[in-house]
Amino acid sequence: MRPVESLRPIVSNRLHFITWNVGSATPPDDITSLLGLNVGDGNTDMYIIGLQEVNSMINKRLKDVLFTDQWSEVCMERLSPFGYVLVTSQRMQGLLLLVFAKYFHLPFLRGVQTETTRTGLGGYWGNKGGVSARMSAFGHTICFLNCHLPAHMENSGQRMEDFESILQQQQFEGQTATGVLDHDVVFWFGDLNFRIEDLEMQVVKTAIDTNKFPMLWEKDQLNMAKDSETVLEGFQEGPLKFPPTYKFDVGTDTYDTSGKKRKPAWTDRILWRLRATAAAGAGKRGSTLGLTSGTKVTQHYYRSHMEYTVSDHKPVSSIFTLQFPYKLDMPLVTIIVEDEWNSIDDAVAKFRLAPNYPRSSWDWIGLFKVGFKHHKDYVGYVWAKQEEADFTRQDHQVTFTEEELPKGSGDFILGYYSNNMSTIVGVTEPFQIQLPTSALDASSSDSSDFSSDEDGTVVPTKGGSRSPSPRRAKHRSHRSHSHSRPGSPTQAKMKVLDVATTTAERESTGRPAEDSSGQGSAAEEKEKDTEGSGV
């Protein structure tokens, strides 16, 4: 008889990784080929993008605090039309990690957390170190770790020490997978800065010109360290069949011709590790091949992109298929909606809660235009109101008012946002909204249009969260005030009483506004805002 685990259906996810030391450059005009969007197969489920040396000069960092950095923005602009939503991001000075997923995967990506570790200047400076994002995907734990390790040929030992320090310092909340290596699958990537030892410059260049890469692999510091460094046990990497990605003259495909004449090296790498089962833990080979609960990682390609010349590094990408048995196959919240909303009376959504769902009075349901960028990129929202009599009920209903509906037609989805879990835990399939012409407001443009520069601007708030900017004339009065979300009902009450908050501060966020009833009308919200501004 087969074990129960083997009877579960297998989920297969396609992950596209990119690592690139961008050398403080602005994004190139077109990153389509880097993202693989020119292939057009549409099979990628998640994008994981790790950048190093994003411009972190003081004036640039101040601008990034007020607005989205250019790299995050260009990635969102290119990926959102294909249905990819920003799950989470983490930045530490020049290090930036972005995780995107198809919108329909969002309910199955839970427990999202991020961490940062500084290793520059003995741990006081974030120009070197690691940023990570961890989550549970369909019930299996996964961690993405983007690192920028120390440079120079002689610092191979320091690179290993810093990597070990990052692994030790990064700890996550929860009962399982508290450390990086505790996860079922770990992907480690970035500018790891390992060099090619012993061989002279001309020998290396000749091997590159004649595609004799295997002779260089043997002298690659990372490959050599795998045989001696315990911390690298279990990490795997595909064959390096592409030319070394460092160091180039900016704007060219020519290796360094400056006075320093850096020897070419594979500094930019993507590795992965499966957590070994107890049965597979005996011996290094078993640890490498041991699977956790049937998890399997398959690498489809591992390559560089020589056509990008804005940096002295070339970007590296890899596509994997990650397979594991389903542990989660039902969302925590199921939303039921009609296929079309042809009148205001149709704007009703029913939702059902799973018995184990930790509901909050500050949960909300957002109306998103297909192609939205992140969970705050909504057209409108309603609070998922919970009356005292509802505590024992699983089926609930909310209604969108005319003011919460788009001023035009298009394809939309509904997403249920959990305040306790800080993520979307339920989504609908796309449905159409086509309201009668008489319902349109001729004095304002389509509030659901997220393609303009103004609508594309997002403002980071505390903790790295992201909010759409105020849409000024595009908004009705209920969107002209604060849309900041409380971290808890207690914080919400305190914020309502904070008469020192200025209108400008309130307009700088874009999340649902707090309301003492949990689902106030737009008119009530506007009245609250007016009172607060007049004090």
**pLDDT, one tens digit for every residue, the chain (535 residues):** 333 333 457 889 999 999 999 999 999 999 999 999 987 667 899 999 999 999 976 665 555 555 579 999 999 999 999 999 999 999 999 999 999 999 999 999 999 999 999 998 876 677 899 999 999 999 999 999 999 999 999 999 999 999 999 999 999 998 778 999 999 999 999 999 999 999 999 999 999 999 999 999 999 999 999 989 999 999 999 999 999 999 999 999 999 999 999 999 999 999 999 998 654 444 443 333 445 568 899 999 999 999 999 999 999 999 999 998 878 779 999 999 999 999 999 999 999 999 889 999 899 999 999 999 999 999 999 999 776 655 567 789 999 999 999 988 999 999 999 999 999 999 999 999 998 865 444 434 443 333 333 333 333 333 333 333 322 233 332 333 333 344 333 333 333 333 333 333 333 333 464 443 333 333 344 333 433 333 2
**Edge-to-edge strand ranges of the sheet holding 333-336:** 333-336, 348-353, 395-399
**What's the pLDDT score for residue 408?**
84
> Per DSSP, what are the bridge partners of residue 268?
191
**What's the pLDDT score for residue 134?**
97
**What's the pLDDT score for residue 436?**
84
**Edge-to-edge strand ranges of the sheet holding 10-21:** 84-92, 95-102, 46-52, 10-21, 316-325, 296-304
Contact, 144 vs 99, CB < 8 A? yes
**DSSP at 517:** T
- Cβ-count burial of 231 within 10 angstroms (0-12 exposed, 13-18 middle, 19+ buried)? middle
Closest CA to 433 of 480, 377, 384, 379: 379
pTM of this structure:
0.81
Q: Count CB-CB contacts under 10 A for residue 263.
A: 21
- Please compute Rg for the chain using Cα positions: 25
Token pair for residue 332? 């925590």
Report CA dihedral (525, 395, 433, 507) to the nearest 10 degrees.
20
